[in-house]
Structure 1
Amino acid sequence: MFRTFYIFLIIALFSLSSCKNKEDKELAEWIEKGALVVDVRTPNEFERRHFPGAVNIPIDSLPLRVDELGPKDKQIILYCQSGGRSSRAKTFLEEEGFSHLKDAGGIDHLFSSASK
Structure 2
Amino acid sequence: MEQPQVKCLDAAASWQLIDQGIPVIDVRSAAEFAAGHLQGATNVPLDSLSQWAQQQADKQQALLLYCGAGIRAQKGCDLLCEQGFMAVSNAGALKDLLSHRG
TM-score interval w.r.t. the shorter chain?
0.7 to 0.9
What pairs with 1:81-100 in structure 2 (closer than 5 Å)?
A: 81-100=68-87
**C-alpha displacement at 1:70, in angstroms?**
5.0
How far off is 1:92 after superposition?
Answer: 0.5
Comparing both chains, which one has the higher relative contact order based on Cα–Cα distances under 8 Å and sequence gaps of 6 or more?
2
Q: Normalising by the residue count of structure 2, what TM-score does the alignment of the two structures yield? A: 0.81
* Unaligned stretches of 5+ residues in structure 1: 1-19
Deviations 1:7-58 (A, max 9, x none): xxxxxxxxxxxxx9x8433212211111000000000000001010000000
Question: How many residues are paired up?
Answer: 95
**Partners of 2:10 and 2:92 within 8 A in 1:** no
Structure 1 Cα separation of the partners of residues 44 and 73 of structure 2 = 11
TM-score, normalised by the number of residues in structure 1 = 0.72
Tell me how large the CA RMSD over aligned residues is: 2.1
Distance 1:64 1:35 in 2: 21
- How big is each residue's C-alpha offset from its partner over 1:66-87, in whole Å with a ceiling of 9 and x where there is no partner? 1455511112110111111001
1:35 matches 2:22 = yes
Q: For residues 29 and 45 of structure 2, what CA distance do their matches in structure 1 show?
A: 5
Q: Which runs of 5+ in 2 are unaligned?
A: 1-7
- The structure with the largest helix share of the pair is 1
Measure, in 1, the Cα distance between the counterparts of 2:24 and 2:52: 15
Of 63, 83, 94, the residue aligned with 1:107 is 94
Residue in 2 that maps onto 1:16: none
Moved over 3 A (4+): 22-25, 67-70
Q: Select 2:47's aligned residue among 55, 60, 68.
A: 60
Distance 1:69 1:37 in 2: 14
